[in-house]
Amino acid sequence: MTASLSFLHAFEPGAGAARPLLLLHGTGGSETDLLPLGRAVAPGAALLSPRGQVLENGMPRFFRRLGEGVFDEDDLRRRAGNLAGFVAEARAAYGLEAPLALGFSNGANIAAALLLLHPEVLAGAVLLRPMMPLAAPPEPDLRTKPVLMLSGALDPIVPAENAEALADLLGRAGAVVEHMILPTGHGLSQADVARVGTWMKEANPPAPQ
C-alpha cells in the first residue's frame, strides 16, 4: 500500500525480528522499484520505500544535480534533512527500529549523505553504485554501523577513484565497510542480489526486541 507522510511512500510490515530496510530508488524510479529486491535480500524485514521529491525531466530523484556526476550540494543537504525527518515520522507511525538503508545510484548517494550528515538515522547501509555525495564531507562517528558498497568495474557513470574515496571516508569515520567491485556496469546484476543477501545474513543483526 502506498501512503503519505512527508514523502509519498510504500510500506510493507515485517514478520519477525529482521531490521527494517529503507529502500531508496535510482533516478526515474518510484516507491515500488526496490520492493522486490528488499524482499529477496531480507525476507521478513519491514520495507519502507519513499519516492524522491525532485523531478528531473519528469523522473523522480532524491536531490538536484547540475550535470552528470555534479551535485547541487545545498539541495542535497536540505533533501537529506527532509529524508531524515521522514524516517523519524515513519518510525513513529509504524513502530520501527532505526532502518538499514538500501539505495541504488541516486538512492545510494542520498543514503551516503544520510550517513555523513545524519548518522543517527540509519543502522547501516547497502550502497549500490554510490558516489561521494559531498565535496567537503564531515567525518561523523559511524562506529558499529556496517556498510556494504558494490561498484561496477564497467560503470561509465561512477569513477573508480570516486567510489574508493567514499569507502575510505566511511572507514575513517569508523564504519565497518566492505567494498566490492563487480564485473558489471551501472545497472544491477544477479551478483549484486546474491552478495547483498549474503551480507544481510552476516552483517545485519536483527533489531532489538
Q: Which residues are catalytic?
A: 105, 155, 186
In whole angstroms, what is the distance from residue 68 CA to residue 196 CA? 27
- Block residue for cell numbers 545497472: 187
Report the C-alpha gap between 23 and 103 in whole angstroms. Answer: 6
* Helices within the chain (DSSP H only): 35-41, 73-94, 106-117, 160-172, 190-203
State how far the Cα of 18 lies from the Cα of 113, in Å rounded to an integer: 24
Provide the 3-class DSSP secondary structure of residue 115.
Answer: helix
Q: Is 13 helix (H, G, I), strand (E, B) or coil?
A: coil
Nine cell digits for residue 124: 547501516
Dist CA 89 CA 199 (whole Å): 28
